[in-house]
Every structure is written in structure tokens, then in C-alpha cells.
Chain A
């Protein structure tokens, strides 16, 4: 059945109009998206946007108020909870380890709960994946936060899940520990595990994810990071000249590639263009013809953070929060 779902091109996750309300409060509303098997999908949003609630809903821990979803090929219904949980794993934001037990004992406990075949081998494999083989006998209570996250990740890998939900896996970690977790996630992504990663660390999403969705109670946008940049921001060139142009309007207005421009008295200009590659030589020639000393001309780069902030700032819901 698993092979059928993958081979048949069925998505790993298909969500349609999913909504969760707690009384009057809306956790998330009308969320629709699909994720393919093997995809690393980033689910971004500010605090309180509904990311964790979405993960818990798709993980069958809480029931949706409306909408439908298919998780690892199984319909999200109360009767299918056990079957869905058999095919997925969730790494919650807090590792939730038994501090009095060793790393290996924690994993053994969960291998039993997942009824993992050949648990010893699987535990060794999971420990190798997170590079913790040498810490197997350490009590979890003695581990640093970064190591605890790695143990939690190993625990999530025990059942070889079809879909792995990672809820803010680097929350509260220092840069070095975050980098370790990033490398592990990237490795899992390369090995074909479908990953649903919630985060509000945009550089993390940009680095790790094939596609991202931005949630702010409602889904704001979805796509590849580059696609979102292009969709949201016009292409633009940043130009610096030694001195300000005496009449920039005359230089830029005559160029058909230029859509609009802005500048300051220091000789810096931001020029919106339809095709940066074609526009740059023509603009350079026009600047030189106007007697300007061109210091630099470069395509402006918009990060995922720009996309995120643009969408969230526009959203009145975020401003209320």
C-alpha cells in the first residue's frame, strides 16, 4: 500500500480547506496544500500563526474542525489515527525525553511502542544518523539541549516514517547546534524522507526546503523560495554612481526596459526592470552617455525574509497578534 501511494504519484500530504477552531478562537483556517513524497516542505509563520496546531492536526493528535486531509495516503479521520501514526513521526518542539533513562533506553522504549522489527539494529542506525552512537549510554538528563534535539530526531527516525514532521527543531539552539540539526535534516531530505518542517527561522527554510508555505492563520502563499521572490518583488537593479546624476529622470525615463526608479542625493538608484539581464547593459550605456561615473550595477536580491515580512506586514491579523 505504501509503495502504491508513492508509485501512483499520490501526494505524501494533501490538505484541503483544513480548519481548526478552539471555541471562538481560530487556530488556522481554510488551509490547502499538497506535498509530494521526498519533498522538504517549510511551514513558516509568526508565533501563534497555527503552525504547531497544523502539525498536531495532521498528526492525529487533535481533530480538525473542518476540511479534509490525506496523510501518507490515509484519510484524516478519527478511525484512521492509529494507521496514520504508524506511517508518520512527529518531533515536537520540546524533545520530551525521559531524563532518568539513557539515550538507548529512551529509544528502546519508543521502538517498543512503534513495534519496530529488529529494534537493536534500528536504534543503532538511528543513532548513527544523528551521530550519537558514542552517547548511547548517557542519561538524557545530562545532555545539552542540542544533543537532546538529536536524540528526539533519532526517536522520530526509529519507525522509518513516510512523513516526518519537525516542529521548530532548532528552537532555542545555539548556532553550532542549529547547524548540526540543519545538516541532519538536509541529509534526511537527500535520502528521500518527506519532511514537513515548521519554523520561523527563515534562513533555515531557505536553506533546507524545496518549497515553503507562509501561514498566518490563513495560508498567505506557497511555492519555491525563488518563485515567491519573483512573484512578490519586481526585478530591480541597484546602481551606484560617484556623484548624483544632474537629471536622472531624463536618463531612466527614455529606457524602455525601466519600469520605475527611485534614487537619493548620494548617487544610489533602485531601478525596477522587467528583465534585469537585458536592461543592465542598456542602462550602463545610458549612464555613461550622461557623463556619470558608474561605481557598481547589480541585481537586487530579495531574501525569503523580505517575502515573509512583506506578506506578514500586509496582514492585519499579524498586526493584531
Chain B
């Protein structure tokens, strides 16, 4: 299916590329003297905004988009349980979103490692931040998908669903930005707390979104 939706994947990558501009410019223009100040920040974590934002638009389309196109009813007539259907739709967004986020992150690391001043690159690329990026990318993307899909199950218009989903993903992005700029001091404890909280939240959100996914409401627009 991704083969037929190449344009969607391409447009998905445009917003994350914008996120790439500021860190790349700041890394490439920084002198070795700036390395000390960079060491006090965690600018790599700024890029956790990408998995928070990228899947929201696509996941917001998942239910209301199919409903408006008329392709939802045939799917609902299949023997799928709603939990399975919701999980399938979430995975269909999660996979490209995570791949894209990792890809952009890898490009950023490569550019910094090759072109930035050695002192700057070693200050910027720290094992703990890279690990945090790798671990939190799918967790944040999944959370963003559940929020968008919850909105999508109740929305009656694709555009409204997409705008609300982007809006709803902003608090997550705010948290990652606060951590990146050391307003919330990143630590192993904070990482564990946030990681476990996101895992649990994702598990609960799956059930909640499945409950919101009501066949009758989706087909007739109301629940008797």
C-alpha cells in the first residue's frame, strides 16, 4: 500500500525537515568554544518533536478519512475485532513515522559528525541522548497516534480532525523541548518515569480508542 501512497510519505517528511534546519545550522556554525555551552543542553532531544508531530496528521485521517471516502463500511463488515482494526491502523502510521524519524535523526548525526567542529560534534552527540532518541521515538509516536485516532473516531470532517490532532500533539512537543533546553533536567530517573508512563498510557489509550471506535456511530452517525 505504501507503494501507492508515496506522495503522502514525501509530504510527511517535509515538516520534520524543517525541524532539522535549526539544529544543523547551529551545529555547523558553532565554534569549538561553544562546545562547553552545548554540553549543558541536550539539543538532540529537540528532535523528539518529530515523532510527536509527524504521525498526528496521518492518524487523524485513519477513521474519519475512510468514513468520508466510503471505504470504512466494507472494512467494518469483515470479521476483524475493533481492537485489531485500530491496532492495524495505528501500525500503518507508526511504521513510516518511526522510520522517517530515525532516518532524519541519522542524517542529522551524520551531517554533524562529518561537517561540524570535532569539539561541537562530540559535545552534541552523546550516547545517552542518542539512546533516549531511539527509545522515545516509537513511544512518543504511538502516543501521538492514539490521540489523533481518538479524535478521528469522533470527528466528522478530515480537516478538523487533522488540525485538532496537531494541536493535541503540542503538549508532548512542549515537554520534549523543555527537556532539550534543560528547563526540565534530563536524568535517568526522569527517562524511566516518562518511559514507563508512556508505555502504560499507550496500552490504556489503545483500549480507550477501541472503545471509542463504535461501529454503529461510525456508520449511522449516532448511537441509539
Contacts and interface: CB of A to CB of B under 8 A. Distances in A.
A155 B73 CA distance: 13
Contact of A101 (B4, B73, B81): B4
B17 interface: no
Chain B residues touching A, majority SS: helix
A59 interface: yes
Given A22-B222, A100-B5, A114-B79, A62 B74 contact: no
A97 interface: yes
Contacts of A61: 73, 76-77, 215-216, 219
Contacts of A100: 4-5
B218 to A, nearest CB: 9
A73 B4 CA distance: 40
Given A94-B70, A98-B71, A100-B4, A113 B220 contact: no
Contacts of A96: 69-74
Interface residues of A, number: 35
A148 to B, nearest CB: 11
Contacts, number: 71
B73 A92 contact: yes
A237 interface: no
A86 B80 CA distance: 9
A97 B71 contact: yes
B81 A65 contact: no
B37 interface: no
A202 interface: no
Interface in A55-113: 56, 59-63, 65, 82-83, 85-86, 88-90, 92, 94-98, 100-101, 105, 109-110, 113
29 contacts: A21-B224, A22-B224, A56-B219, A62-B216, A62-B220, A63-B216, A63-B224, A65-B224, A82-B81, A83-B79, A85-B78, A86-B79, A88-B77, A89-B77, A92-B73, A94-B73, A96-B72, A97-B71, A101-B1, A101-B4, A105-B1, A105-B4, A110-B74, A110-B78, A113-B78, A113-B79, A114-B79, A115-B79, A155-B74
Interface of B: 1, 4-5, 69-81, 215-216, 219-220, 222, 224
